[in-house]
A = this chain, B = another copy of it.
């Protein structure tokens, strides 16, 4: 059974968190959400004790399954690391040194990393080598010098298995993003099996 670690912080976009999590569980992928606290406003270390829930960008409060701890969250524990968007949440996640180290560790161990929307900023802060990616248009300017910026909905970077980087442009692409990762982790049949009972309108292009 493949497994995924989905990060969240205050300000994470609720749909960009919920759609992948829910879709992965439907595909039989074991999901764990991990909360990353924002640094204190005085710049000191994040609180050791995390809040009881994560306040999303549109005010939905979600209870994380766990809190980010490096030794429990590495590529030896999960097959996929997901970084959702939402301006404030993506800032906290991409600025976290632990998250940056995990992004590199996952890719170094041939595990998948998914970034959605402004979450793609973590590719920059983790200092990943130049490769294809996409993001929400609002952070394009920060990314296009260091990466081969693409307008595609979902971009699977060249070295797929050895160095997988997925990004997606906004909540509207959260479904094709999730389906692509299901296909990569569980195969094409599973993608169809999960998508079909969701009853998308005819001619939906994913």
Which A residues fall within an 8 A CB radius of B? 13-15, 18-19, 21-22, 25-26, 31, 33, 53, 56-63, 136-137, 153, 169-173, 175-176, 195, 197-206
A195→B172 CA distance, assembly (Å): 8
Report which of B33, B136, B206 forms a contact with A199, defined as CB distance below 8 A: B136
User: Could you show 23 A-B contacts with beta carbons less than 8 Å apart?
Assistant: A13-B22, A15-B15, A15-B18, A22-B58, A22-B60, A25-B59, A26-B58, A31-B58, A61-B62, A62-B62, A63-B63, A153-B201, A170-B200, A171-B198, A171-B199, A172-B195, A172-B198, A176-B201, A201-B205, A201-B206, A203-B203, A203-B205, A204-B204
CB neighbours (8 Å) of A137 from chain B are: 199
Q: How far is the CA of A59 from the CA of B13 in the complex (A)?
A: 18
Q: What 4 pairs across the A-B complex have the smallest Cβ distances?
A: A172-B200, A170-B199, A61-B63, A172-B198
Q: Closest residue to A135 on the B side, CB-wise?
A: B199
Task: Give the CA-CA distance A56 to B31 in the complex, in Å.
Answer: 14
Cα–Cα distance between A200 and B137 once the two chains are bound (Å): 12
* A172 and B170 contact, Cβ closer than 8 Å, known pairs A199-B137, A205-B204: no
| Chain B neighbourhood of A31, CB < 8 A | 58-59
Q: Is the CB of B153 within 8 A of A172?
A: no
Per the bound structure, the CA–CA distance linking A33 and B56 in Å amounts to 14
Kindly provide the distance from the CB of A65 to the nearest chain B CB, expressed in whole angstroms.
8
Chain B contacts of A22 at CB under 8 A? 13-15, 56-58, 60, 171
Complex CA gap A82/B146 in Å reads 44
Chain B residues within 8 Å of A171, by CB: 22, 198-199
| A19 cross-chain contacts in B, Cβ below 8 A | 15, 18-19
For A206, the chain B residues whose CB sits under 8 A away are: 201
Chain B, residue nearest A86 (CB) = B22
Q: Is A63 touching B53 in the complex (CB atoms < 8 A)?
A: yes
User: Are A199 and B175 in contact (CB-based, < 8 A)?
Assistant: no
Determine how close the nearest CB of chain B comes to the CB of A12; give it in whole angstroms. 11
